[in-house]
Structure formats: structure tokens, C-alpha cells
Chains A and B, each alone.
Chain A
Amino acid sequence: MAGGALFLGLVLVLAYFSETCFAMITFSSLQRTLVVTASHPQRILKAGEDKITVTWGLNQSLPAGTDSAYRTIKVQLCYAPISQVDRAWRKTVDNLSKDKTCQFKILKGPYTTTNRTSEWTIERDVPAATYFIRAYALDDDDRQVAYGQTNDAKKSTNLIEIQAISGRHVSLDIASVCFSVFSIVALTGFFVTEKIKGRKAQQ
């Protein structure tokens, strides 16, 4: 009885640890089986305005059944190496749960064997940087099993440059200037009032 409980406990502990072991997926373990292309106007794109058309699908030259485990597709906007320099919060790390390369979701949907296309308007909170696009294929447990991206392993070609919104508004600018001027004027006003009061007291 006690032995049985101990054995059960051991199994549960092992299961827990194996769960955490399996949870560590590395990028280098993924297969590049998807083909991803993106088309967009050939200039600096504007966040909030311009659109990118993304096409993705399985590499047709691969044997059938490669994609048996694929259930979901997640397409993301990822930082190119030039935008990661001196910015540890965008660092590429092999352990996918700690990887910060791809921070913006373009879309997430069910996986289909045929090629799919989607048009995405660049969201307004995308920062100014250079990007590429990557698609992950996820299995039943939402774990990455394969990927594809718009350029090679060096991530040096087919880059998308995006110009962000500044976040500034004319009304904010005016308010800042007005309040600042008011502070200085108020200070001067106080000094003048004090001097006048001082002179009155002397009279």
C-alpha cells in the first residue's frame, strides 16, 4: 500500500519533470519545411498604414506526411540582426521559450496543406526597425515543430524596413509648451509680487 503510493508519487514527479524537459524546444531542433514569402511596396513601410501580403505553405519537394503533426500556423514579424545590436531585449536565443526575436503576431490559424495568403496591415505599435517574417508550425500541444522564413539562415536578405508612428500629437506638443511657459511665468510672477510686497512693507 505504502509502496504503491510511493511509486505513484515517483511517477507523478517524473511526469512533471519530463513535462518540463519536453517544454524546452530549441530553434536549432526545428525543421525548415515551410516556404514563406512576403510582398509589400519596395520602400520604407509605415506602421498603421501599409500592408504586407504573406504567403505560406509546405515545401512541395518534401515527402508526403512531413506535415502530419502540424495543426496550427503562427506567422510572426521578427527583428533582423541589425535591429538586435546592443538591445538585449530583442536577443535571439536557441531556447524558444526565452527567444525574443519574434515579438509581433501577424496571424495564427489552422494549418492547411494548400498554400495560403493573407494581407496584414502593420499595427500602430510596431517600433521602427528592420524585420523579416517567420512562420512556425505548431502541433496539438501548441509546441513549435517546424518553421519557415522569408530569408536564409543569416537573415540578411529580403528585409522589411518599417517606420513607426512617433506617438506625438500637435495637441501634446502645444500642451507641453504651454505648461512649461506657465511654470516660468508663475515663478517670475511670484518674485515680482514678493518684491512689491516688500516695498509696500517698507513704506
Chain B
Amino acid sequence: MNKKEILKLAKGFRGRAKNCIRIARERVEKALQYSYRDRRNKKRDMRSLWIQRINAGTRQHGVNYGNFMHGLIKENIQLNRKVLSEISMHEPYSFKALVDISRSAFPGNKNVVLPTRKVNVSSINV
């Protein structure tokens, strides 16, 4: 890569790393290494985010993530976590149907406590 391409990739860097080629070259190489590594990490992070969202969605209905996924596997429903997290956010009635199917397939949730409804302090008119 020649100097012009390096300095173009170095836009937004701090201090001399965006202007001076010797420093910019090092920082750009590091940035490209990070992007290589993070393209692989992004897949892991996204899956973890989806699992958190599905967990939150199912716990609103009294089922935790582990039992929910076990029930789906028993029923041979092959929706992946990405789609399940999107459904839990935007299609609440479809998600409730999925939770009910999973609960009937694997009723293992004796100890899960439904979250108590907390009243917002600022909304109370005194």
C-alpha cells in the first residue's frame, strides 16, 4: 500500500497518526489486524447478544433461556437465535406462542420467578 492509501485509512486517528506517514503506517497495520480479529469476534458477540435478548424475552413469560431452547429442540423447531431475538423484540404474540410450545414440550420451570412489576417512583403523584 502506498502512502496515500495508508493516510486515507488513517482518517480519524489521534494525534500524529493521522498525518505523519511513519506513525500512521504502524497504527493502520494495527487497525487492520484488529479488524481481521474482530470480524471473527463479531460473530461471537452477536450470538451472545441474541442469547441475552431471548433470555430477557422468555423470562417475561416465566421461562428461562435454557429450558426454552431445550423445549424448542424437542419440538424440532429450527429457528436460530438471531431470528428468535428479532421475533422477541418485534413480534410479541408470535414469541409468546413459541414460549407456550416450548413450555408444553419441556415443563421444567418450577423455580423461575416471574419478575415483579416495579412502579416508577417519578410517576407516582404525591
A and B from one complex: no
Which B residues fall within an 8 A CB radius of A? none
